[in-house]
Structure 1
Amino acid sequence: MTSASLHYSFSHLDDLMDAAGLDALLVTSKHNVRYLLGGYQFIFFAGMDAIGHSRYLPVFVYVKGAVEKTAYVGNKMEGGEHENHPFWPDSVYTMSWTSLDSTQQALDHLAKVGVTTGRIGVEPSFLPMNAHQMITEQMPNIALVDATAVLEELRAVKSEAELVQLRQASELITQAMQATIAASMAGDSKFHIIDRLRQEETKRGLAFEYCLLTLGSSHNRAASTQTWEKGEVLSIDSGGNLNGYIGDICRMGVLGEPDTELQDLLAEIETTQQAAFAKIRAGTTGADVIAAGEACRAAQPNAACTDFFAHGMGLISHEAPFLMTNHPVAYENRDADKPLRANTILSVETTMLHPKRGFIKLEDTLRVTDSGYELFGTQGRGWNRGSI
């Protein structure tokens, strides 16, 4: 693993830090550490951070304009990982068992390279209280600054290698969903269907993350003993992870043949999706895409029970560009009035909570291009039939 294989440039990172007035970074979120290291994540703590009385806390240390001063602080067991596949930073410390171990080593490294004053960027949502306290006590001349937006912006435009991962993740999830629906039959519980999807995603090389499933007229997407019955709809919404990159898709199934009403309801969803898609291209603002989707949704017969949403995605399921707010995943829509950029990723979703026919939704992943968009995971966007 070398710095030449990274998905970002140091000059871009330096420019972002300069604009934010940052002198250095202490990065502690697993997803951003993974990104900055070039895709590496320690498998032992991939599923859980807690160990003993503390937690795993990887730290990536970066000093603006001085790549040679970069350091990575990891767990003691990561020494073997570094031996087999060397990490690219010049300074690597595989010695930590607690959050305080990691923080102390990161502070020692900053002192070693001469950073004892200035503005240090951190991720407040991913910095433990005891680590924060140690930093402020040992480095009283340091100002800690929220660098979350800097790191989000750094990841916003995807490299070609990242696009390959995201495209494949979407395609594999749609294949897994189609296989799951086709194998599911009357009497299968939500528990069984979700586990079937987990197996289908896993055997395709995805790390299964979640499945939100509805059956029949219910709008409840949690796992339960509820069973799928003939004539009922199924909504299956899942996130799968491919080498750190998220695929997030929703598809529809029906046990039997869809009647005319179901065909019309899904057509409403598809019409709204396509209206938003038609506005997507580099240079168009996110607000224009949202306005097109909202206008189309509002004109549909079931507008009162239908919602439209669009958001960025990549290493995590909601990231830059941030286009909307006032939804369950609440954040400011700071990118809505900015032009979309080529090779950013959007998730576009339209959801109908029909009072009689149930939860009807399509969620799609798209790459923004100079001339329009590329839709990832195109299969199964109509009614998928269960096993009769």
Structure 2
Amino acid sequence: SAARIGIEPGFLPSDAYMLIRKALPDAKLIDATGMLETMRATKTEAELEQLRIASELITDSMLATIAWAREGTSKTDIIERLRREETNRGAHFEYCLLTLGSSHNRAASSQAWKKGEVMSIDSGGNYHGYIGDLCRMGVLGEPDAELEDLLAEVEAVQQAAFSKVKAGTLGGDMIAHAEGVLKASKVAAYTDFFAHGMGLITHEAPFLMTNHPVAYEGTYAAKPLEKNMVLSVETTMLHPTRGFIKLEDTVAVTDSGYVMFGDRGRGWNRGGAAA
């Protein structure tokens, strides 16, 4: 009758809350969000394996979808193909944010892929409750020198962030180093860097940046990264003429650095290669 029950209000359905209140009217419900976030921040080896598998399945599915798509294939058809690729591999499809050509619109539509255009394919999938969330780039044809250069600028920011990922490094120091490299880049005016924790939830501890772009406080920026934390690291370019160019990667923190999950296809992947 005097139970203290820790709850996470943001994830407790209202009907479950009312059921607890009815069954245990004298129990004290405590907001345990902070404790549960801390517990989620560092993963067990079994959880890391689930996240690795999730990331591999999403990467394999995206690369297969890029290779399948060809001139005239619509965004709606590409997204549907990705859904089937992920499902057939044992993942639960959650979303796909897709751009073609110079457009920055990532919603499904009848827009068709044209020769020489880029594709940005960003997908989240679920494997036994754990999230895979990555972004890879495709091109219909061969990438020209400008495209190679633009993706290299994105990669430079990603590598700057990775270089600071290590247990004991302050989360804010990793963010500041990547942002410093981006600020000095010639594409800085239309490019953004973001990093966040992930696992059971797409945005979970460690929270490294405040309201950028998701509305939460960067409460972990002043704390050291810990072994087995998992980070999503992403650099997004909204190029005025070439379109949406992005890399998003998943890394697990180790004592000496990091391990990347689903680390294939990080360059320009050719559309129609499966034909």
TM-score bracket for this pair, using the shorter chain length? over 0.9
Indicate the residue corresponding to 2:117 in structure 1. Answer: 232
CA 1:136–1:160: 2 relative to 1, 3 Å: closer
What is residue 35 of structure 2 aligned with on the other side?
Answer: 150
Identity %: 68
Structure 1 unaligned residues grouped into runs of 5+: 1-115
1:215 is matched by which residue type in structure 2?
L
**Distance in 2 of aligned mates of 1:156 and 1:207:** 23
Task: Give the one of 155, 170, 173 matched to 1:285.
Answer: 170
1:360 aligns to what SS in structure 2? strand
* Other-structure match for 2:271: 386
Quick one: which amino acid aligns to residue 384 of structure 1?
N
Q: Name the CA distance, whole Å, in 1 between partners of 2:98 and 2:173.
A: 31
User: Aligned to 1:343, which of 206, 215, 228?
Assistant: 228
Work out which of the residue numbers 51, 65, 78 in structure 2 matches 1:180.
Answer: 65
Give the Cα separation in 1 of the matches to 2:48 and 2:59: 17
Alignment of 1:5-24 (within 5 A): none
Paired residue type of 2:175: I
Per-residue deviation, residues 181-205 of structure 1 (Å, max 9, x unmatched): 0111010000111111111112211
CA distance in 1 between counterparts of 2:194 and 2:75 reads 26
What is the alpha-carbon distance in structure 1 between the residues aligned to residue 263 and residue 22 of structure 2? 53
Alignment: residue pair count: 273
Q: CA deviation at 1:118?
A: 5.5
How far did residue 227 of structure 1 move?
A: 0.5
Q: Residue 209 in 1 paired to residue 105 in 2? A: no
Give 1:117 deviation, angstroms.
2.4
Distance 1:174 1:134 in 2: 41
The one-letter code sitting in structure 2 at the alignment partner of 1:349 is E
How much is the aligned-residue C-alpha RMSD, in angstroms? 1.6
AA in 2 matched with 1:187: G
* Residue 127 of structure 1, CA deviation: 3.1
In the aligned structure 2, how far is the partner of 1:307 from the partner of 1:356? 17
Deviations 1:318-373 (A, max 9, x none): 11111112223211111111111111100000000111110000000001000001
Shift of 1:132: 3.9
Q: Which amino acid aligns with 2:48?
A: L
Task: For 2:28, give the aligned amino acid.
Answer: A
TM-score (norm 1): 0.68
State the partner residue of 1:220. 105
For the pair 1:257 / 2:114, whether they are aligned, the reply is no
Equivalent residue of 1:288, what SS?
A: helix
Q: Deviation of residue 143 (structure 1)?
A: 3.3
Name which of 159, 168, 178 aligns with 2:44. 159
Alignment of 1:340-379 (within 5 A): 340-379=225-264
Give TM-score scaled by structure 2 length: 0.94
The CA deviation at 1:138 is: 6.5
Quote the residue 1:313 is aligned against.
198
- Counterpart-to-counterpart distance in 1, 2:141 and 2:178: 30
Gaps of 5+ in 2: none
Q: Secondary structure, in 3 states, of the residue corresponding to 1:342? A: coil
Q: 1:316: how far off?
A: 1.3
C-alpha deviations, 1:97-148, integer Å up to 9, x for none? xxxxxxxxxxxxxxxxxxx226432121233445545655665644322112
Q: Which moved more, 1:143-152 or 1:311-320?
A: 143-152
**Residues 336 and 225 from structure 1, CA distance in 2 versus in 1: closer, same or farther, beyond 3 angstroms?**
same
Determine whether 1:301 maps to 2:197.
no
Equivalent in the alignment of 2:9: 124
- 1:243 aligned partner, one-letter code: H
- Following the alignment from structure 1 to structure 2, what is the Cα–Cα distance between the partners of residues 316 and 129? 20
Structure showing greater radius of gyration is: 1
Matched ranges for 1:78-89 at <5 A: none
